[in-house]
Structure formats: structure tokens, C-alpha cells
Chains A and B, each alone.
Chain A
Amino acid sequence: MAQVSSISNEQSSTAKSIILKISRYNPEHDESSQFMEFNVKYEKWTTVLEAILDVKKHFDHSVAVRYSCRQATCGSCGMIINGKPRLACFTKISELDSNVVTVEPMNNFPVIRDLAVKFEKLFDSHQKIKPYLIRDDTELVSDEKEFLQTPEEVEQYIQFANCIKCGLCNSACPTMATDSSFVGPQALAQAYRYVADSRDKGKDSRLKIIDDSHGIWRCHFAGSCSQVCPKGVDPAMGIQLLRGYMLGFRS
């Protein structure tokens, strides 16, 4: 299936070009994935997602890719770019510093087709840790007060609230590479996000959920999740702080 094709293009002559290798795979009828190669022009600001969309527009519309916001906010466009999980919309071709850009579907997620992967398990694990404030009262009733927080209290969890559920962390995690039941860095970081929130009273029930043989104890603090996170969530930090509570190092 491999072929090289050029997009005859009206773009300015200052544009440089790269070979974009796209992994093509349809689990319904393909034995294995194969790369298709395209010659794509780019500018300093061109993102990998734009290059893929260029291929779809000018050469092969059947390339399957998921995206929405194009600004690192929706978490749809995670894929393996030159060997590492990254957001396609947040990765500029120029910053990759390579004449060949290879895009593959994220590891540790079932492939739907080409670059699009299934997120069901990611969302299920996220839901499992109860990603909402747990307490008996509510601020929705008119005679209740708002739950005020000091800036310092917000600081305790706001970094973890930045998570866009893109799954890059789960794709980089060495435990995820072999353990199908592991809850994963994304969900564990979110467990910490709520445990560290001064308004939340659900700490005990959440710690019980992750205190499981495929829960927090499967984390070996390899830190790859934090290295690939595009939003500065630093899941590895959240997980170790959470484990600090469970081991009695922290209160």
C-alpha cells in the first residue's frame, strides 16, 4: 500500500516539505497496519494535525483521524508522533526537527481505524473514581452559601483540574503496556484532584476504590505520564501524593 504522493500546492515557495507517514489499519478487514507516505509542505507554524488534514483534503479523504478544538482543549487528537504520544494539534512539525514525521494510533487503546482509538475504558476508569464533589450539602439550594476557597486551597488541586482526558499519559505508562485492568495515571490523577479539594468529603470512599490490586499500587513512579502530558497535570506527582496519604506519610 505504501506510496509517495505529492500535493501540488499553491503555497508560498518558502515552505519546506516533509514525508508524512500515516499508519493505516482497519481492524475489520486488515491483518496488520501499513504505512502510507505523503509529501507535505509545511510552514514554521504548521501543526501535525494540519498536515494530516492537508492529506485528507488533497489526497486521501479516507484517513481516519479524530479532532475537534484544534487548540489542545478537547483531548481528541492524541496519537504517537515520531514515537511518542502527543496531541497532533499541539505539535508543530518544525519542533520535531525531522524530515520524516510518523503518525500512529496511541498505544494501549483499541484502534477504531487508522489514527482514531477507542476511549471507552479511559472514560470508565475516570468515572470509577467519582470525579465530582462528594458531600451531604449542596450549593444549588438557594439558602445555602457558596463553598468558598482561599487561593491557597485552589492551588492544591487546580493543576490536576487541567486534565483534558486525552489519554496520552495512559499511552506512555509502562504498566498500561501490559496490564489490561490497571486503572491508569489519568484516573489516579483525578482521584487526587478531588481528594485534594477542600470542598470534597469523599476521600475515604475514593481511597477505597483505588486501593486495589490493579489500582494505585501498580504505579512504579516511572514518570512517563508526566513527561507526555500536554497540560502540565503531572499525574505522577498526584499519584505519589495520593499514595503518601495511603502509606501514612501525609495526612
Chain B
Amino acid sequence: MPQDEHKEGVGGMINPTRYGIERVAYLLMRLSGLGLLAYFVAHIYETSNILRGQVGWNEFLELTQTTEGHIFLAIVIAMCVFHTVNGIRVMLGHGGVGVGKPARPDYPYDPASQNYRHKIGIYSSIVLAAVATMYGLAVMFGE
């Protein structure tokens, strides 16, 4: 019998309520990455409607003029902005930028990699995503 490894599983992986804002960013990065991928595929499908000529194209475009369409696009804006800004932070971190310098550890052992630079990066991506989304909503619903 294979041994039960007592893994936390997907539920543990996506749980954003422990280990601070860094785990919230981790979850949002995954969700927005997958969301953008789904949008990307749908977008290719949508734009392929041009093969049906002007009528088909306009018919499909009308979907984006509905309230649901506006909300959908607002979510896409939020995902896009968060994923890009946080993605730049993550790429810098992965290259060892802004993760602190090794030093002799002292009690209470605050980890230098979990620092304000990266936290500011996370909060900025959330705030920028919110601002861009509100701007998008104002434009779309203000028409």
C-alpha cells in the first residue's frame, strides 16, 4: 500500500488566511494567471468571428456592451494589472532582488526576505488593479 503522505493538498495550497499577505499574493497570482489564460483562449475565439464577416463581428461585439460584459471586462482589467505588476515583483524576487542580505540571525528571527519592499510591491499591485478597474468601470458605464 502506498504510504499516506499526509499532504495538505490543494485546500492547504490555496488557503490565503495563514502566513500573511504573501500567501494572498500567491493565490491571486495563480488565479489571475489562469484567468488570463482562459481569457486569452476566449479572446482568440472571439476575434475569429471576423471570419463570419461584419455582421458576425458586430453581433459578437455586442456581448461586451451588456452589463455582464462590462463586469467581465472589469475583472479582466483587474487580473491583467495585478498579474503584471505582481509578476514584475515576483521575477525580481526570483532573481534575488530585494530579498535581503544574509546576516547572523538574532531572536526573534524576523525573516529578512519577508520585508516591506516586497509587501509594498504586493499592496501596490492590489491598489493599482483596483484603481484601473474603477477607471475601466467608469469609462464603460459612463458611455
A243 beta carbon closer than 8 Å to chain B: yes
Contact indicator B109/A249 (Cβ below 8 Å) = no
B65-82 CB contact bits vs A (8 Å, 1 = yes)?
000000000000000000
Q: Is A75 an interface residue (CB 8 A)?
A: no
Residue-by-residue, is B101-114 near A (CB-CB < 8 Å gives 1, otherwise 0)?
A: 01111110111111
How many interface contacts (CB-CB < 8 Å) are there between A and B?
Answer: 145
In the bound assembly, the distance between CA atoms of A196 and B13 in angstroms comes to 30
Q: Does B19 contact A (CB under 8 A)?
A: yes
Interface residue SS majority, chain A: loop
0/1 string, A232-251, CB within 8 A of B gives 1:
11101110111111010110
Q: How far is the CA of A84 from the CA of B79 in the complex (A)?
A: 30
Contact of A234 among B13, B14, B93, B113 (CB under 8 A): B113
Q: A108-B5, A117-B6, A221-B90 are in contact. Are A234 and B96 (CB under 8 A)?
A: no
- Least Cβ distance of B66 to chain A in Å? 36
CA distance A105 to B103 in the complex (A): 32
Residues on B lying within 8 angstroms of A by beta carbon are: 3-10, 12-14, 18-20, 22-23, 25-26, 29, 90, 93-97, 99-100, 102-107, 109-114, 118
Binding site for B on A (CB under 8 A): 27, 83-84, 105-111, 117, 155-160, 162, 172, 174-178, 180, 196, 220-224, 226-234, 236-238, 240-245, 247, 249-250
